[in-house]
Structure 1
Amino acid sequence: MADHSGQPQDRRTRSRPSSIHNLAQSGDLINLTKKLQDSPSLLNDRNPIMAQTPLHVSAANNKKEIVKFLFNWHGPENLEVEAKNMYGETPLHMAAKNGCTEVLKLLLNHNVDIEARANNGMTPLHLAVWYCLRAEDCSVVETLLQYHADVNAKDNEGMTPLGHLLQGPSNQKLQSLLQFHLDEQRKQKARLALEDSKGKLAELELELSKIVGLHELKLQLRTWAKGMLLDEKRRVLGLKIATRRPPHMAFLGNPGTGKTMVARILGKLLHMVGVLPTDNVTEVQRTDLVGEFVGHTGPKTRNKIKQAEGGILFVDEAYRLIPNQKADDKDYGVEALEEIMSVMDSGKVVVIFAGYAEPMKRVINSNEGFCRRVTRYFFFDDFDSRELAEIVHLKIHEQLEDSLLYGFKLHPTCTIEAISDLLKNNTTEKQRKELNGGLVGPMLVNARENLDLRLDLDCCDAENLVTITLEDLESGLRLIRS
């Protein structure tokens, strides 16, 4: 082939057009601009083998002007600032591993992910440490730490940047730098954890204020909450401690003593402090677990256990799983209990068995592993008249919009003392023992009906229309007695 002068031309002397990656590497801003104007789709183009974008290449070679230009480029495509190469490394990884401090700052000022993970789980700080060990220059590590890179981040092998440093050549300056920032970050996390813990404890106290009586149980809940929150702080400070076992429990007492309500509060508590991933409480009885035929009980029980995973399985009237019968007559309820026992060591669910104290002894004695797994027993005493009066006040103030009593209130004469005397004089001890808190709801509903009966249709006084009096409460009790 000849040129215009007729002289032969050597193919090897002709220059090939540079790729956008070569232009980014060399810092040729003029030609890179022309190339992008001609082919805007090259903005995030991947090079062969390494699958790196122009931003990767310019970041790895500390070409600050190219990086600036790419961030300010306006075209049909957006710059992929978190693009990953074949090793899962972002442009920030590339700047860190090559000691490109100026580009590193520029990228961080554009809010790129400082904790981005490569395929091996390493963050830019991990790679910066390795660069500093080779180059004996700590500036790239210092820059990342100024932008609050996590010194405690772990790669896929569980190694932190400081851990890698301790395994490599000695560098006292770098070690001191990382250790100082690790201590400072732990202190900051501990301060945040303390504030969070105070908020959680305040939330717990709000929930406990809804429980009448049960002082021993409240003390135990406070103890658990505080212990779990302290464990959280211990881990934040880098201390290695054992994981607490799920606290399986038995709630023993008569109906209406608040067992189900306490289980729901406990679900919130255990979720709040991180023991359980959800605050879900799945309430079941014998009919939800036991099948009618051979082979039905196992799948039925396992389905309920699966439904309760991550939260609490609340087995109400649990004594019905072990009927009062001869030892050689195996009831399907025993199979259900054995299925529940088999998952209690898994940590996937917390189980609460509830029921009358005396018949619950059958459940406790029926399985040799019960006492090993169920480590807390709480006795729910019957409510006295004053405690029932307190429940009346709590209930009237906690009504939801879909409740029949929503919007109603008690007359000022309906003090706790007055309601307590009313209950004592208008119910028997046997009634209070059999119904406990279950007496309050029907009494209030009946009281509202008595209010309707008592008022004239032409009544226009807003206060009177929604105010329940002692007379209404007494009438409500009378209807229950009859």
Structure 2
Amino acid sequence: MQRIHDNRTRSIRPTTIHGFAQSGDFHAFQKLLRENPSLLNERNPIMGQTPLHVSAGYNNVEIVKLLLNWQGSDKVELEAKNMYGETPLHMATKNGCNEAAKLLLANGAVIEAKANNGMTPLHLAVWHSLRVEDHSTVKTLLEYNALCSAEDNDGMTPLNHLSQGPGNEKLKKLLTSYLQEQRKRKAIELCSETKAKIDELEKEIANIVGLHDLKVQLRKWAKGMFLDERRRALGLKVGPRKPPHMAFLGNPGTGKTMVARILGKLLYMVGILPTDKVTEVQRTDLVGEFVGHTGPKTRKKIKEAEGGILFVDEAYRLIPMQKSDDKDYGLEALEEIMSVMDNGKIVVIFAGYSEPMKRVISSNEGFCRRVTKFFHFEDFSCEDLAKIVVMKMENQKEDSLLLGFKLDGLCNVDTVANLIERVTSERQRGEMNGGLIDPMLVNARENLDLRIDFDCIEPDELVTLKLEDLEVGLKLLSSSIITCSD
């Protein structure tokens, strides 16, 4: 049990500012303070208490009022702490000085201030009530919404301390009633906050094209975390959730990196991660060239990613295609990553082609135990690619090459999808997927520049990409792909 310090009864010379604060001699106190205003927040020896501590602890209300309303150049320190870390409000409540406590609270005293032992004014008021069976100060603090669930350094709430003293059913009933009411209010507040978070979640999910299974999983995680918040608010014991390590399997351009960045925001939003950062790495960022280099290099990247997502792109490159007599350092990097995946400080996403990723999965017996979510990123259909084009043009970022430009009204999802299917081959789409979009739009912008008259002064014409611009952009891209593959 923690010790409650009785630092009120130590003798103080009656002729000092602290002595008058203790005795309640208002006129002598006022005279001395007017003669020497620097005594306003004077600390007494040993205990380190101010006149406000002392007057509040003895319920000398007139002196407390004088100090709180002092009109000098200095203001009274409402949150001054004595050697035990107690504020004047602590002093008032631990001694049952209800009128002084009311004055301090009315003037903005911090009701959840904690002393060195972690106790709040409500903790101390409960201790006083156990000794004298006077609940008035406890009631005052509760009326100001003092938290009944506040814990001291021993993890004890004000209600927990009742079991340490003689039975006091009336006080227990009072605290329990307020605790339940506070929990209900907190749950209601969380409900409105949750709705706002869900709206933000859906807004982010709307930026993901396709990937139905991933979206379902995101909504599951979000709902679970929001329900955990409500469970804890209602006083229920809920264990923490394990970070969801994942594998993203699919061809280039299917949105794996973009989804990882969105996922970072969402996992932060729902409370699984403390930050939304995503650290993207490849083999060259992790693997050293000599013995002893890989471990420190990988651990450095892991440290950078703590609190967020470590996104290992082309993860299959860590495992050689054929076994060799010489140990490949990529396996060492993978083992370093696997060793920290159970500590709860990081979420790891391994990404790469579906077939080569089987090497990674089979290389470490603990992989499937730690990586519990596998998401397959299918190649984008023409309609998916068209949706990406329209979304990209409607939601441009400041660093976008197409910032300020827009699509002509005829460039809707259907017409753009038909264009992509007509101009590109299935092979081209499978090899590039979303990688088609940016170069196509850049080419389309260049075609717009070529197409419009130099003397054009119509704002819309200067920034509107038409279907013919997109077609030229795609054809130029297709021809460059064919050239590069020959």
Which of the numbers 2, 23, 27 marks the counterpart of 1:26?
A: 23
1:217 aligns with 2:217: no
User: Which residue in 2 is equivalent to 1:5?
Assistant: none
Q: How many Å apart are 1:241 and its aligned residue?
A: 1.7
1:285 aligns with 2:282: yes
1:49 aligns with 2:42: no
Which letter does structure 1 place at the counterpart of 2:97?
Answer: C
TM-score, length of structure 1 as denominator length: 0.95
For residues 399 and 255 of structure 2, the distance between their equivalents in structure 1, rounded to whole angstroms, comes to: 22
User: Which residue in 1 is equivalent to 2:204?
Assistant: 207
Q: How many Å apart are 1:261 and its aligned residue?
A: 1.0
TM-score, length of structure 2 as denominator length: 0.95
For residues 400 and 89 of structure 1, the distance between their equivalents in structure 2, rounded to whole angstroms, comes to: 51
1:309 aligns with 2:306: yes
Q: How many Å apart are 1:294 and its aligned residue?
A: 1.3
| Residues 322 and 448 (structure 1), Cα distance of their counterparts in 2 relative to 1, 3 Å cut | same
Question: Which residues of 2 match residues 137-286 of structure 1 at below 5 A?
Answer: 137-286=134-283
Structure 2, unaligned runs of 5 or more: 1-12, 480-486
User: Which residue in 1 is equivalent to 2:6?
Assistant: none
Q: How many Å apart are 1:466 and its aligned residue?
A: 0.6
User: Which residue in 1 is equivalent to 2:108?
Assistant: 111
Quick check: 16-25 or 196-205, which moved more? 16-25
Which letter does structure 2 place at the counterpart of 1:478?
Answer: K
Secondary structure of the structure 2 residue equivalent to 1:250: strand
Secondary structure of the structure 2 residue equivalent to 1:375: strand
Equivalent pair of 2:250/2:379 in contact (CA under 8 Å): yes
Q: How many Å apart are 1:85 and its aligned residue?
A: 1.1
Residue-by-residue CA offset, 1:119-153 (whole Å, 9 max, x unaligned): 11000000000111111111110000000000000
Q: How many Å apart are 1:75 and its aligned residue?
A: 2.6
Equivalent pair of 2:187/2:234 in contact (CA under 8 Å): yes
Q: Provide the aligned C-alpha RMSD in A.
A: 1.0
For residues 184 and 17 of structure 1, the distance between their equivalents in structure 2, rounded to whole angstroms, comes to: 46
For residues 255 and 249 of structure 2, the distance between their equivalents in structure 1, rounded to whole angstroms, comes to: 11
User: Which residue in 2 is equivalent to 1:460?
Assistant: 457
Q: How many Å apart are 1:327 and its aligned residue?
A: 5.1
For residues 478 and 361 of structure 2, the distance between their equivalents in structure 1, rounded to whole angstroms, comes to: 36
User: Which residue in 2 is equivalent to 1:362?
Assistant: 359
Q: How many Å apart are 1:17 and its aligned residue?
A: 6.8
Which letter does structure 2 place at the counterpart of 1:233?
Answer: R
| Residues 233 and 17 (structure 1), Cα distance of their counterparts in 2 relative to 1, 3 Å cut | closer
1:444 aligns with 2:441: yes
For residues 211 and 282 of structure 1, the distance between their equivalents in structure 2, rounded to whole angstroms, comes to: 20
1:338 aligns with 2:335: yes
Count of aligned pairs between the two proteins? 467
Secondary structure of the structure 2 residue equivalent to 1:70: helix
For residues 212 and 403 of structure 1, the distance between their equivalents in structure 2, rounded to whole angstroms, comes to: 19
For residues 475 and 414 of structure 1, the distance between their equivalents in structure 2, rounded to whole angstroms, comes to: 14
Equivalent pair of 2:14/2:23 in contact (CA under 8 Å): no
Residue-by-residue CA offset, 1:60-108 (whole Å, 9 max, x unaligned): 0101100000112233432111111111111000100111111110000
Q: How many Å apart are 1:232 and its aligned residue?
A: 1.0
Q: Between the two proteins, what is the percent identity of the paired residues? A: 69
User: Which residue in 2 is equivalent to 1:10?
Assistant: none
Q: How many Å apart are 1:328 and its aligned residue?
A: 3.7
Residue-by-residue CA offset, 1:146-191 (whole Å, 9 max, x unaligned): 0000000000000000000123211111101000000000000000
For residues 188 and 324 of structure 2, the distance between their equivalents in structure 1, rounded to whole angstroms, comes to: 58
Which of the numbers 60, 76, 87 marks the counterpart of 2:57?
A: 60
Which letter does structure 2 place at the counterpart of 1:219?
Answer: V
For residues 75 and 293 of structure 2, the distance between their equivalents in structure 1, rounded to whole angstroms, comes to: 58
Q: How many Å apart are 1:401 and its aligned residue?
A: 2.5
Q: Which has the larger radius of gyration?
A: 1
Equivalent pair of 2:14/2:20 in contact (CA under 8 Å): no
Q: How many Å apart are 1:38 and its aligned residue?
A: 2.0
User: Which residue in 1 is equivalent to 2:97?
Assistant: 100
Secondary structure of the structure 1 residue equivalent to 2:241: coil
For residues 468 and 100 of structure 2, the distance between their equivalents in structure 1, rounded to whole angstroms, comes to: 80
User: Which residue in 2 is equivalent to 1:38?
Assistant: 35
Which of the numbers 426, 430, 433 marks the counterpart of 1:433?
A: 430
For residues 244 and 238 of structure 2, the distance between their equivalents in structure 1, rounded to whole angstroms, comes to: 17
User: Which residue in 1 is equivalent to 2:482?
Assistant: none
User: Which residue in 1 is equivalent to 2:10?
Assistant: none
For residues 425 and 403 of structure 1, the distance between their equivalents in structure 2, rounded to whole angstroms, comes to: 27
Which letter does structure 1 place at the counterpart of 2:434?
Answer: G
Secondary structure of the structure 1 residue equivalent to 2:365: coil
Q: How many Å apart are 1:357 and its aligned residue?
A: 0.5
Runs of 4+ in 1 over 3 A off after TM superposition: none
Residue-by-residue CA offset, 1:263-304 (whole Å, 9 max, x unaligned): 111111111111111000001111111111111111111111
Which letter does structure 1 place at the counterpart of 2:67?
Answer: L
Which letter does structure 2 place at the counterpart of 1:432?
Answer: R
Q: How many Å apart are 1:49 and its aligned residue?
A: 2.0
For residues 233 and 328 of structure 1, the distance between their equivalents in structure 2, rounded to whole angstroms, comes to: 56
Residue-by-residue CA offset, 1:447-473 (whole Å, 9 max, x unaligned): 000000101101111111111011000
